[in-house]
């Protein structure tokens, strides 16, 4: 009879504590999920900061390229290169030729 009582008590204890064990397991799993999400959040924040820095660098480079393009396309610079490298000169009034379509 004592064996029956012992096995019955073990079964009853297990039945009573099953909910507690399930809640404990749920708490542990929830804690692990919180840690994982915090880690992912940190990684994404770091990636976002790196992307912002890269965007700022590309924006600065773009502005510098625009300034360089404007400087290279300036009329006085083009005229100077044409005069120096191609031996060209601006035509005077009597050398102007006008072409008209019929």
> Residue written as tokens 């019955």?
8
Higher-scoring residue by pLDDT: 38, 91: 38
Q: For residues 24 and 61, what is the distance between their CA atoms, to the nearest angstrom?
A: 56
Q: What does each C-alpha distance from 61 to 19, 50, 64, 65, 83 come to in angstroms? A: 62, 16, 5, 6, 31
- Residue 96, helix vs strand vs coil: coil
Residue 63 is encoded by which pair of tokens? 């502005």
Residue range 10-63, pLDDT digits in tens = 778 887 788 888 999 999 999 999 999 999 999 999 999 999 999 999 999 999
Q: For residues 27 and 64, what is the distance between their CA atoms, to the nearest angstrom?
A: 56
Residue range 63-86, pLDDT digits in tens = 999 999 888 888 888 888 888 888
- Residue 91, helix vs strand vs coil: coil
pTM summary value: 0.55
């Amino acid at each position: 009879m004592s064996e029956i009582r012992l096995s019955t008590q073990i079964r009853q204890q297990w039945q009573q504590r099953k909910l507690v064990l399930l809640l404990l397991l749920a708490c542990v799993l929830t804690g692990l999920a919180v840690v994982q999400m915090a880690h992912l959040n940190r990684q994404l924040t770091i990636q976002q900061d790196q992307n912002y820095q890269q965007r700022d660098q590309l924006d600065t480079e773009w502005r510098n390229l625009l300034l360089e393009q404007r400087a290279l396309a300036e009329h006085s610079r083009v005229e100077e290169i044409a005069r120096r490298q191609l031996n060209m000169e601006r035509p005077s009034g009597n050398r102007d030729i006008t072409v008209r379509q019929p």
